[in-house]
């Protein structure tokens, strides 16, 4: 049944020990209708020896009866489970498959390609850590590829494999592969996908599935299985702050009151201080009750029962967090929605909303915009119809403890349920709360609270320096060298003009321990750190020059908030790309008058 | 666990299954666990004990008894119910009993329909259960691979595979109309190997029939049938033989094929399973019809 390991025969206990410590990767396969997803999964099962003889016999029988591969085995028949799917030869619903290799266990969600089944595809993507996007080498990047990429990216699946399939039908030509790769890179960059891996394969013939393809010697990257076996998994974030929604209160008798739930982030130990949200009541952990024995500590992913040292009122839907957690409280949110029902969104109508913690009521406003998943254009719309994505304001009837989806998907996601049909009609990803101060504003008030001012005033410094302070931030999608070249040149020329300028350069991603934080958190922390240093220079009356790669418009706004009341100049060095979220450039570095413009800006009184 | 930074895949599966069970208890009115006495049921029961500890399992455990189960299964069930203090319901279709329905007299299809499918529907209606846990896994069979963890049934207990609700993240929609019910499959993502390995690691008690022992069997319709009681009427040329056999799945004894085996411990069983070349359900008479037969049975209400 399983992949062949000699240990099974010689040392079954040793084999079981090995199995126990294998890691688990959940991934989805998606693509257009005939790209060969089902064939690929059938092939993966076949290659990992997961098909029994009786199943193989049935498969051979079915292949000759209804298969589409002539005398060859039609692997797709292994996965198309529903009768109507076999009749139509297409995948309608998500099929979950399980296989393992010597290194890893895999749960595969095989998701449908048809546009009308986009919601089924999102179902598969919501629990996946990696996505295989299938592309037919003969057709290249299609509308569906773009739509699936958008959804996968929106749901935070950050490992993407572009499987360029049916290479056998294009004579295994490298140029075909290269062209598709280039096309996809352009689209992916525009979408904000930072990284992906392209592998040329033939699921039907088995090229680059387990072993390197002999037909494609020009390809030196990993085979598909090799990649799946070795791609680093999301580090289980035990360093993050503890959060656990209370699912059920366990009260077998008057002496025991336990709070049962699955830990969504971080870890917890006996004695740790916790806070109950949204009530903001505090206590400490008395015990971590498990079936075997009392545990001292529990980590993310575990389903546990906690007892506390104080008798406080906690019920299902409350969220337990530890000190320092970034979980916030709110009831109206800007959210990205994917609509999943034939009945379009009715703005203002009351829907059931289910979050990880509880069920509540809510209304949704007409979209701020609707996203065209093929062109990434944002357009006006009065509603969202089946399979459409848009950004909406959502208002819940009570406060919930939440975090933005990008930081904590468990506390940043919700589903929308129709009150009449009881169907799940949409999915929502919380971006930000409305009517609450932003983190940048909070950061400013925190900083003002702790900033100890000297007796030399800013006005005195302006008088002494003979110019005002200024923050110059270089941004855009350009090479690191370009940042430092332009930054140092600016610094030198401004100093020659008698301006007290300082260029601060450092390598953004290398500083922190990336294991412990999500990229978003990390970027926000670095951003804050950089601007705090900058703030000291600005307060000292100087011109501070630095760079922040690929700054978004939101970040630009935050930057101006954090640097208030000082003047800010943002210079976008990149003139090629046309990203929707691109910041506006205050100055053009190619203009000869650049230095003079800056000088006049700081000398202007 | 303290020194481990990550959970093993079995710990992840366990935690997710417990989350599912608690969600059902928190959001439904009258849940029940369907208990078939087999290995998957045993794991399900074990997870329920863990999920609600130190409270006792907050729902009844129901066995739909066709009256043709192996005697050892029934004894195991009753012993376990006593030991774990289970709220056990045993339900048998009274119409089937009065008409003396059985696999020998009526054939496997009629027997399964009346004593299992119809009986289950009657029992769910009788006790007005709105959610029922089952031990099915997606790796068992093709139509199950497409079923949601929370799977809805109409008032007539029918499954509509083309109209399944999207199931996003771990957010389960348990809303339903009066009369509708949910089948919940907490073991959906477990494989057969995961089940055995978990039984081994957690030391979960099992019906002895899974372990090889000398038992009286006859060879009929291509499979070894155990002579469990005198309702098995021997045909002229049939003679029970004593063979060292065991069972990979458990059901009604006349419909469950034994395999010749010497595997008498859990590691032996796992080893045998991994080296075998036929799939688990092959020993079950009911699945051998056509590829879509399970899907049809499920649509009609066979769990």
B147 and B223 assigned to the same domain? no
Searching chain A, which residue's CA lies closest to the CA of residue B54?
A252
Inspect the interface and report whether the beta carbons of B278 and A53 lie closer than 8 Å. Answer: yes
Please state the length of chain B: 303
Inspect the interface and report whether the beta carbons of B170 and A84 lie closer than 8 Å. Answer: no
Inspect the interface and report whether the beta carbons of A94 and B146 lie closer than 8 Å. Answer: yes
> B292 CA to chain A: closest CA distance, Å?
6
B54 and B191 assigned to the same domain? yes
The answer to whether residue A589 is domain-embedded is: yes
pLDDT at B98: 95
The answer to whether residue B163 is domain-embedded is: yes
| Burial tier of A313 (Cβ tally within 10 Å: 0-12, 13-18, 19+) | exposed
Inspect the interface and report whether the beta carbons of A302 and B11 lie closer than 8 Å. Answer: yes
- Which residues on A lie below 8 Å from B155 (Cβ)? none
pLDDT at A257 over 60: yes
B273 part of contact set with chain A, CB < 8 Å: yes
A-contacting residues in B 209-248 (Cβ below 8 Å):
none
B127, B165 contact by CB (below 8 A): no
Winning range, highest mean pLDDT, from A60-74, A171-185, A318-332, B135-149? A171-185
Q: Indicate the residue of A19, A105, A247 with minimum beta-carbon distance to B19.
A: A247
B23 and B158 assigned to the same domain? yes
Q: Indicate the residue of A93, A290, A354 with minimum beta-carbon distance to B171.
A: A354
Total structural domains within chain B: 2
Inspect the interface and report whether the beta carbons of B145 and A96 lie closer than 8 Å. Answer: yes
DSSP class of residue A96 equals E
pLDDT at A507 over 70: no
- Which residues on A lie below 8 Å from B51 (Cβ)? 260, 303
The model's pLDDT over A64-108, given as tens digits with 9 standing for 90+, comes to 766 666 666 677 676 665 666 666 655 667 888 888 888 889 999
Which uninterrupted H or E stretch holds B157? Answer: none
Q: Indicate the residue of A1, A62, A427 with minimum beta-carbon distance to B291.
A: A62
**Which tokens belong to B186?**
């907490």
CA–CA distance from A303 to each of A259, A395, B202, B293 (Å)? Answer: 11, 30, 16, 37
The answer to whether residue B75 is domain-embedded is: yes
Residue B72 to residue B89: CA distance in whole angstroms: 18
Residues 6+ apart with CB under 8 A from A479: none
Inspect the interface and report whether the beta carbons of B173 and A289 lie closer than 8 Å. Answer: no
pLDDT at A30: 87
pLDDT at A84: 62
| DSSP one-letter string for A238-251 | SSSPPEEE--EEEE
Inspect the interface and report whether the beta carbons of A84 and B19 lie closer than 8 Å. Answer: no
Residue A346 to residue B14: CA distance in whole angstroms: 39
B100 and B177 assigned to the same domain? yes
ipTM of this predicted structure: 0.90
Inspect the interface and report whether the beta carbons of B146 and A97 lie closer than 8 Å. Answer: no
Inspect the interface and report whether the beta carbons of A301 and B11 lie closer than 8 Å. Answer: yes
- Which residues on B lie below 8 Å from A97 (Cβ)? 138-139, 145
pLDDT at A18: 81
CATH number at residue A217: 3.40.50.300
CATH number at residue A378: 2.40.30.10
Residue A5 to residue A10: CA distance in whole angstroms: 9
| DSSP one-letter string for B213-275 | EEEEEEEETTEEEE--STTSPPPTT---EEEEEE-SS-SBGGGB-BEE----SHHHHHHHHHH
CATH number at residue B66: 3.40.50.620
Residues 6+ apart with CB under 8 A from A15: A5, A7, A8, B274
Q: Indicate the residue of A1, A20, A296 with minimum beta-carbon distance to B8.
A: A20
| DSSP one-letter string for B184-230 | E-TTTT--HHHHHHHHHHHT----GGGS-EEEEEEEETTEEEE--ST
B58 and B124 assigned to the same domain? yes
Residue A334 to residue A323: CA distance in whole angstroms: 26
Residue B222 to residue B219: CA distance in whole angstroms: 7
Q: Indicate the residue of B144, B167, B273 with minimum beta-carbon distance to A1.
A: B273
A477 and A560 assigned to the same domain? yes
The answer to whether residue B77 is domain-embedded is: yes
A83 and A143 assigned to the same domain? yes
The answer to whether residue A46 is domain-embedded is: yes
Residue A520 to residue A507: CA distance in whole angstroms: 16
A303 and A343 assigned to the same domain? no
Cis peptide leading into residue A52 (ω within 30°): no
Lowest mean pLDDT among A270-274, A544-548, B47-51: A544-548
B204 part of contact set with chain A, CB < 8 Å: no
On the CB side of A389, CA atoms within 13 Å amount to 23
- Which residues on A lie below 8 Å from B276 (Cβ)? 1, 52
pLDDT at A4: 55
The answer to whether residue A544 is domain-embedded is: yes
CA angle B290–B291–B296, rounded 5-degree value: 80
Lowest mean pLDDT among A293-307, A439-453, A582-596: A582-596
A204 and A170 assigned to the same domain? yes
Inspect the interface and report whether the beta carbons of A262 and B173 lie closer than 8 Å. Answer: no
The answer to whether residue B3 is domain-embedded is: no
B183 and B270 assigned to the same domain? no
Residue A491 to residue B158: CA distance in whole angstroms: 74
Q: Which domain holds residue B180?
A: 9-196+292-300
The answer to whether residue A535 is domain-embedded is: yes
B141 and B189 assigned to the same domain? yes
In the predicted model, what is the mean pLDDT of chain B? 89
A303 and A396 assigned to the same domain? no
- Chain A interface disruption, residue of B146, B176, B186, B277, most A CBs within 10 A: B146
B65 and B135 assigned to the same domain? yes
The model's pLDDT over B84-143, given as tens digits with 9 standing for 90+, comes to 999 999 999 999 999 999 999 999 889 999 999 999 999 999 999 999 999 999 988 777
pLDDT at A50: 62
A172 and A253 assigned to the same domain? no
The answer to whether residue B2 is domain-embedded is: no
A392, A406 contact by CB (below 8 A): no
The answer to whether residue A235 is domain-embedded is: no
pLDDT at A587 over 60: yes
> A497 CA to chain B: closest CA distance, Å?
56
pLDDT at B46: 98
Winning range, highest mean pLDDT, from A1-15, A205-219, B46-60, B158-172? B46-60
pLDDT at A341 over 60: yes
A385, A341 contact by CB (below 8 A): no
Give chain B's end-to-end CA distance (angstroms, integer). Answer: 37
Res. B164 pLDDT band, cuts 50 70 90: confident
- Chain B interface disruption, residue of A21, A22, A84, A98, most B CBs within 10 A: A98
> A187 CA to chain B: closest CA distance, Å?
26
The answer to whether residue A443 is domain-embedded is: no
Pairwise pLDDT comparison (B207 vs A548), residue with the higher score: B207
Res. A288 pLDDT band, cuts 50 70 90: very high
Pairwise pLDDT comparison (A530 vs B71), residue with the higher score: B71
A169 and A278 assigned to the same domain? no
Q: Indicate the residue of A16, A55, A415 with minimum beta-carbon distance to B173.
A: A415
Average pLDDT over residues A113-124: 80
Res. B64 pLDDT band, cuts 50 70 90: very high
pLDDT at A365 over 60: yes
Inspect the interface and report whether the beta carbons of B193 and A1 lie closer than 8 Å. Answer: yes
Q: Which domain holds residue A102?
A: 6-230
pLDDT at A574: 76
Long-range contact set of residues A527-532: C-beta below 8 Å, sequence gap at least 24: A527/A555, A527/A558, A527/A559, A528/A443, A528/A562, A530/A504, A530/A506, A531/A559, A531/A562, A531/A563, A532/A447
Inspect the interface and report whether the beta carbons of B25 and A248 lie closer than 8 Å. Answer: yes
Inspect the interface and report whether the beta carbons of B193 and A316 lie closer than 8 Å. Answer: no
Inspect the interface and report whether the beta carbons of A290 and B50 lie closer than 8 Å. Answer: yes
The model's pLDDT over B202-244, given as tens digits with 9 standing for 90+, comes to 999 999 999 999 999 999 888 899 999 999 988 888 889 999 9
A416 and A519 assigned to the same domain? no
Inspect the interface and report whether the beta carbons of B22 and A303 lie closer than 8 Å. Answer: yes
> B133 CA to chain A: closest CA distance, Å?
18
Interhelix angle B266-275/A12-20, rounded to 10 degrees, is 80
- Select from A301, A322, A343 the last residue of a domain: A322
pLDDT at B277 over 50: yes
- Select from A366, A400, A433 the last residue of a domain: A433
B166 and B262 assigned to the same domain? no
The answer to whether residue B38 is domain-embedded is: yes
pLDDT at A306 over 90: yes
Total structural domains within chain A: 4
- Select from A307, A322, A337 the last residue of a domain: A322
Searching chain B, which residue's CA lies closest to the CA of residue A251?
B55
pLDDT at B3: 40
The answer to whether residue A236 is domain-embedded is: no
pLDDT at A578: 43
SS3 for A105-128, per residue?
A: EEEEEECCCCHHHHHHHHHHHHCC
Inspect the interface and report whether the beta carbons of B54 and A96 lie closer than 8 Å. Answer: no
The answer to whether residue A186 is domain-embedded is: yes
CA–CA distance from A106 to each of A22, A27, B190, B289 (Å)? Answer: 10, 7, 11, 30
B53 and B146 assigned to the same domain? yes
Inspect the interface and report whether the beta carbons of B191 and A258 lie closer than 8 Å. Answer: no
Please state the length of chain A: 605
A23 and A172 assigned to the same domain? yes
The answer to whether residue B54 is domain-embedded is: yes
Nearest to B158 by CA among B294, B297, B302, B299: B299
B27 and B109 assigned to the same domain? yes
Q: Indicate the residue of A53, A84, A126 with minimum beta-carbon distance to B169.
A: A126
Searching chain A, which residue's CA lies closest to the CA of residue B197?
A16
pLDDT at A385: 94
Inspect the interface and report whether the beta carbons of A291 and B55 lie closer than 8 Å. Answer: no
In the predicted model, what is the mean pLDDT of chain A? 85
Nearest to A490 by CA among A573, A579, A422, A408: A573
Instruction: Report percent pLDDT > 90 for chain A.
Output: 44
Q: Indicate the residue of B11, B14, B270 with minimum beta-carbon distance to A12.
A: B270
Taking one residue from A and the other from B, the number of pairs with CB-CB distance under 8 angstroms is: 208
A371 and A302 assigned to the same domain? no
- Which residues on A lie below 8 Å from B200 (Cβ)? 16
B132 and B24 assigned to the same domain? yes
Lowest mean pLDDT among A14-23, A284-293, A502-511, B117-126: A502-511
**Which tokens belong to A413?**
């996601």
Searching chain A, which residue's CA lies closest to the CA of residue B12?
A301
The answer to whether residue B4 is domain-embedded is: no
Inspect the interface and report whether the beta carbons of A247 and B270 lie closer than 8 Å. Answer: no
- Chain B interface disruption, residue of A82, A261, A418, most B CBs within 10 A: A82
A310 and A426 assigned to the same domain? no
pLDDT at B287 over 50: no
Residue A373 to residue B252: CA distance in whole angstroms: 53
- Which residues on A lie below 8 Å from B271 (Cβ)? 8-9, 12
A112 and A19 assigned to the same domain? yes
């Amino acid at each position: 049944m399983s992949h062949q390991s000699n240990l099974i025969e010689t040392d079954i206990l040793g084999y079981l020990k090995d199995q126990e410590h294998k890691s688990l990767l959940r991934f989805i396969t998606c693509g257009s209708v005939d790209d060969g997803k089902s064939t690929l999964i059938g092939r993966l099962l076949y290659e990992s020896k997961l098909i029994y003889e009786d199943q193989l016999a049935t498969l051979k029988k079915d292949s000759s009866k209804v298969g589409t591969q002539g005398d060859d085995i039609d692997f797709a028949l292994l996965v198309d489970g529903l009768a109507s799917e076999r009749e139509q030869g297409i995948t309608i619903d998500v099929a979950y498959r399980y296989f393992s290799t010597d290194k890893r266990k895999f749960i595969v969600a095989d998701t449908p390609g048809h546009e009308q089944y986009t919601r089924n595809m999102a179902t598969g993507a919501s629990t996946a850590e990696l996505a295989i996007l299938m592309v037919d080498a003969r057709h290249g990047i299609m509308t569906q590829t773009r739509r699936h990429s958008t959804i996968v990216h929106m749901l935070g699946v950050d490992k993407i494999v572009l499987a360029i399939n049916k290479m056998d039908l294009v004579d295994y030509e490298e140029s075909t592969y290269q062209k598709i790769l280039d096309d996809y890179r352009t689209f992916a960059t525009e979408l904000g996908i930072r990284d992906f891996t392209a592998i040329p394969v033939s699921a039907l013939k088995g090229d680059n599935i387990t072993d390197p393809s002999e037909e494609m010697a020009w390809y030196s990257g990993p085979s598909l299985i090799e990649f799946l076996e070795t791609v680093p998994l999301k580090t289980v974030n035990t360093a993050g702050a503890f959060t656990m929604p209370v699912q059920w209160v366990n009260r077998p008798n008057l002496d025991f009151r336990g709070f049962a739930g699955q830990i969504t982030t971080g870890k917890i130990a006996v004695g740790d201080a916790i806070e109950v949200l949204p009530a903001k009541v505090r206590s400490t952990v008395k015990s971590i009750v498990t079936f075997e024995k009392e545990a001292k500590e529990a980590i993310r992913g575990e389903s546990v029962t906690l007892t506390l040292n104080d008798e406080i009122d906690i019920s299902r839907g409350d969220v337990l967090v530890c000190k320092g957690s970034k979980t916030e409280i709110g009831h109206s949110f800007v959210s990205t929605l994917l609509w999943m029902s034939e009945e379009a969104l009715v703005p203002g109508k009351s829907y059931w909303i289910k979050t990880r913690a509880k069920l509540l009521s809510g209304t949704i406003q007409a979209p701020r915009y609707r996203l065209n998943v093929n062109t990434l254009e944002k357009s006006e719309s009065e509603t969202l119809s089946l399979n459409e994505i848009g950004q909406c304001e959502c208002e819940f009837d009570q406060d919930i403890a939440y975090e933005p989806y990008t930081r904590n998907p468990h506390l940043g996601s919700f589903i929308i349920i129709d009150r009449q049909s009881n169907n799940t009609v949409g999915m929502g990803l919380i971006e930000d709360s409305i009517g609450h101060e932003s983190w940048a504003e909070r950061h400013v008030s925190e900083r003002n609270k702790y900033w100890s001012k000297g007796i030399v005033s800013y006005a005195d410094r302006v008088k002494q320096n003979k110019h005002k302070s200024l923050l110059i931030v270089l941004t855009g999608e350009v090479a690191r060298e370009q940042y430092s070249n332009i930054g140092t040149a600016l610094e030198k020329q401004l100093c020659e003009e008698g301006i007290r300028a300082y260029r601060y350069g450092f390598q953004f991603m290398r500083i922190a321990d990336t294991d412990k934080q999500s990229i978003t958190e990390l970027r926000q922390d670095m951003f804050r750190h950089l601007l705090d240093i900058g703030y000291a220079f600005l307060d000292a009356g100087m011109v501070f020059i630095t760079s922040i790669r690929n700054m978004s418009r939101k970040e630009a706004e935050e930057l101006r908030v954090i640097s208030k009341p000082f003047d800010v100049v943002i210079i976008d060095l990149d003139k090629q790309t046309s990203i929707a979220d691109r910041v506006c450039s205050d100055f053009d570095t190619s203009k000869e008058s650049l230095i003079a413009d800056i000088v006049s800006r700081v000398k202007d009184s | 666990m303290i020194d481990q930074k990550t959970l093993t895949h079995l710990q992840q599966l366990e935690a997710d299954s417990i989350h599912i069970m608690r969600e059902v208890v928190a959001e439904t009115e009258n849940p029940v666990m369907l208990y078939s006495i087999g290995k998957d049921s045993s794991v399900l029961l074990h997870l329920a004990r863990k999920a609600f500890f130190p409270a006792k399992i907050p729902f009844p455990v129901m066995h739909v008894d066709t009256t043709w189960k192996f005697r050892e299964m029934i004894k195991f069930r009753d012993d376990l119910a006593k030991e774990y203090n289970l709220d056990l319901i045993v339900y048998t279709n009274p119409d089937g009993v009065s008409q003396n329905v059985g696999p020998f007299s009526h054939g496997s299809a009629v027997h399964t329909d009346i004593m299992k499918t119809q009986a289950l529907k009657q029992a769910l209606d009788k006790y007005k259960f709105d959610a029922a846990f089952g031990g099915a896994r997606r790796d068992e069979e093709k139509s199950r691979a497409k079923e949601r963890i929370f799977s809805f049934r109409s008032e007539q207990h029918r499954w509509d595979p083309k109209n399944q609700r999207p199931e996003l993240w771990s957010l389960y929609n348990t809303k339903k109309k009066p009369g509708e019910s949910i089948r919940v499959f907490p073991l959906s993502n477990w494989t057969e190997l995961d089940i055995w390995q978990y039984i081994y690691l957690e030391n979960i008690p099992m019906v002895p029939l899974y372990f090889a022992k000398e038992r009286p069997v006859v060879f009929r319709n291509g499979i070894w049938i155990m002579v469990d009681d005198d309702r098995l009427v021997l045909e002229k040329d049939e003679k029970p033989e004593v063979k060292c056999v065991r069972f990979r799945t458990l059901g009604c004894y006349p419909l469950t094929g034994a395999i010749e085996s010497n595997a008498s411990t859990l590691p032996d069983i796992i080893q045998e399973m991994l080296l075998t070349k036929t799939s688990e359900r092959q020993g079950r008479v009911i699945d051998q019809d056509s590829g879509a037969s399970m899907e049809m049975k499920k649509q009609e209400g066979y769990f």
